[in-house]
Amino acid sequence: MRAKTHRRSKGLNGWLLSLPALVLLLIAASGPLLIVVIYSFLEPGDYSGVRWTFSTDAWFRILFQRDIFDGTVSLADANLSIFWRSVKLSLATTLIAFVLGLPTAWFIATRTPAARAVWLFLITIPFWTNLLIRTFAIMEVIRNQGLMNTALINLGLIETPIQVLYTDTAVLIGMAYVYLPLMVLPLFAAIDRFDFKLIEAGYDLYASRMGVLRRVVLPIIRPGIVAGCILVFVPSLGAYVTPRVLGGGKNMMIGNFIELQFGQGQNWPLGSALSMVLLIVVLAALLIYTRVSSRDDPNG
């Protein structure tokens, strides 16, 4: 009985010690989020801000639009095209990062401890540089007079520069470059814990290389794969800087669309509703990761 009381008192003291941090998180994180939720159910102001009148028009305008003359309702094609472009580019970025990140992480995990530290150091170097600077660096590579086109022309492979900048391809290249380390690091952590004797056992059972990869390696490192995909997909979906710089403002994604509503569009309720939709998608991705992680946890 005394031990039970001691544990309860210890748990209460822990909550009291963490109370200031919890209050700060509640005010700093939940407070602004609550404001965004409230704004999404109001009407836009005449020039900016909101009018304190309850309305669900912002949520309605995410997927639908109403004709200004006869009031007929139709799908908001422009919004849907932005949503589709965002999801498509985010999924493509995740796929490219996985295809490039898996062999990279495998290479690093199979080096000696000293060499492994050097390679991990090189992988983390891009995080030392501002995202905007890294995006401009990619722009210098893929622009018409950039490194890529200059090299192809000097090699005689093309006669005129390839127009890559200000296209979806440019945005895809930029996001894959920016978020690749976020895929490599969790994959490395999963492969580093991998027992390579299992590969030898697979070969002893006459499995092919693809069979070992598909039936032994990938299932075991699946938590790292899911974590890497979430870490790449979530920021790619809400990316703002890279699509703005490399897309030239023409190839808009959800992040740019939200900024437009709070800026030139001056429709804060619609921007708030779009922000909540983006948050819901992110939460859904995190829930998927949590379920996969708990399923793979032997103590779960």
Domain ranges of the chain: 2-73, 77-296
Q: What's the pLDDT score for residue 202?
A: 86
Q: Which residues contact 208 (CB under 8 A, 6 or more apart)?
A: none
Is residue 275 exposed (0-12), middle (13-18) or buried (19+ Cβ within 10 Å)? buried
pLDDT top residue among 83 and 205:
83
The predicted-structure confidence for 215-256, as pLDDT tens digits, reads as follows 888 888 988 998 899 999 999 999 999 999 998 877 789 999
Asked whether the CA dihedral 136, 78, 93, 148 is positive or negative, the reply is: negative
CA distances for 109 relative to 43, 105, 181, 187, 227, angstroms: 54, 6, 14, 9, 17
Q: How far is CA 284 from the centre of its chain?
A: 13
Where do we find the tokens 């309702």?
73
Tell me the whole-structure pTM to 2 decimals.
0.85
45-67, pLDDT tens digit by residue?
887 788 899 999 999 999 998 88
Q: Residue 92: its pLDDT value, please? A: 96
Name the band, by pLDDT with cuts 50, 70 and 90, for residue 297: low
Which residues of the chain form beta strands (DSSP E)?
42-44, 50-54, 64-66, 73-75
What's the topology of domain 77-296? MetI-like fold (1.10.3720)
Q: Provide the sign of the torsion angle of the four alpha carbons 33, 34, 37, 39, taken in this order.
A: negative
Tokens 């009291």 appear where? 16
With a cut of 90, say whether residue 3 has pLDDT above it: no
Rounded-to-integer distance, Cα 8 and Cα 234, Å: 39
Q: What percent of the chain has pLDDT over 70?
A: 92
pLDDT for res 84:
93
